[in-house]
C-alpha cells in the first residue's frame, strides 16, 4: 500500500525551498535513516512506513522549521498523532501526548506576532498499528490548516507561557 498524504492538503513532498526539515529513524536508533524537506506535517501512513527503509511499526520522526505567522493574533495549534508526539515552539513544550494520552490535543491560545520568526519542533513515535501525525494551526482570522515552515533558522527572541491570550 502506498504512503498516503491526507487528501485535504495535496501539498508536494520532496526537495523544496523552505519547508519542514524531516528526519526519520527506526525504533530506538539515534541516527536518522532518512532526511528530507516536507511542505507540511499532515500524514496518515496507516499501516505503511513513511519510506521503504523504515518499518511500519517502531519508527520515529523529528521535524524542525521556522514559522512566521501571517497576522498578529492568538493562535491555537492542533496536534493529531497516533502513537505519540511532542510539539515545541521556541523551546517551550506546548503539546505532549508522547507516552500516553489523547491522540488529539489543542494548545491554549498563544499570541504570535506577524512576521516574527518562531522555531518549531515536533517529535513523533510509532509503536504499532495505524500511524498518523498532523500539525495544524488556527486563529480568529485563520481556519485550521496545516502549519507550513519556511525552512530552518533562529527564532526572533523568547516565547514564554505568559504570551497566551
Do residues 106 and 77 make contact, with C-beta atoms less than 8 angstroms apart? Answer: yes
pTM for the full predicted model: 0.82
Render the burial of 152-161: b for 16+ CB within 10 Å, e for the rest: eeebeeebee
The residue range of the domain holding 9 is: 4-154
The answer to whether residue 55 sits within a structural domain is: yes
Sign, CA torsion 101/36/138/94: positive
- Specify which residues 82 forms β-bridges with: 132
Q: What is the CATH number of the domain that holds 61?
A: 3.90.182.10
Q: What is the pLDDT along the chain (165 residues), one digit of tens a residue?
A: 334 343 333 333 333 348 999 999 998 888 999 999 999 999 999 888 888 888 888 899 999 999 999 999 999 999 999 888 999 999 999 998 877 655 888 999 999 999 999 999 999 998 877 889 999 999 999 999 999 998 887 777 666 554 555
The number of distinct structural domains making up the chain is 1
The answer to whether residue 22 sits within a structural domain is: yes
Do residues 156 and 72 make contact, with C-beta atoms less than 8 angstroms apart? Answer: no
Amino acid at each position: 500500500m502506498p504512503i498516503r498524504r491526507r487528501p485535504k492538503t495535496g501539498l508536494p513532498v520532496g526537495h523544496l525551498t523552505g519547508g519542514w526539515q524531516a528526519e526519520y529513524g527506526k525504533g530506538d536508533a539515534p541516527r536518522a535513516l532518512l532526511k528530507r524537506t516536507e511542505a507540511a506535517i499532515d500524514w496518515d501512513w496507516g499501516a505503511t512506513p513513511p519510506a521503504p527503509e523504515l518499518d511500519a511499526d517502531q519508527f520515529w520522526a523529528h521535524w524542525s522549521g521556522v514559522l512566521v505567522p501571517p497576522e498578529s493574533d492568538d493562535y491555537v495549534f492542533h496536534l493529531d498523532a497516533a502513537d505519540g508526539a511532542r510539539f515545541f515552539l521556541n523551546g517551550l513544550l506546548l503539546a505532549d501526548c508522547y507516552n500516553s494520552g489523547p491522540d488529539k490535543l489543542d494548545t491554549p491560545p498563544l499570541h504570535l506576532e506577524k512576521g516574527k520568526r518562531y522555531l518549531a519542533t515536533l517529535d513523533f513515535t510509532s509503536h504499532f498499528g495505524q500511524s498518523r501525525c498532523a500539525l495544524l494551526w488556527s486563529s480568529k482570522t485563520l481556519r485550521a490548516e496545516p502549519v507550513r515552515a519556511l525552512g530552518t533558522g533562529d527564532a526572533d527572541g523568547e516565547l514564554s507561557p505568559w504570551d497566551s491570550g
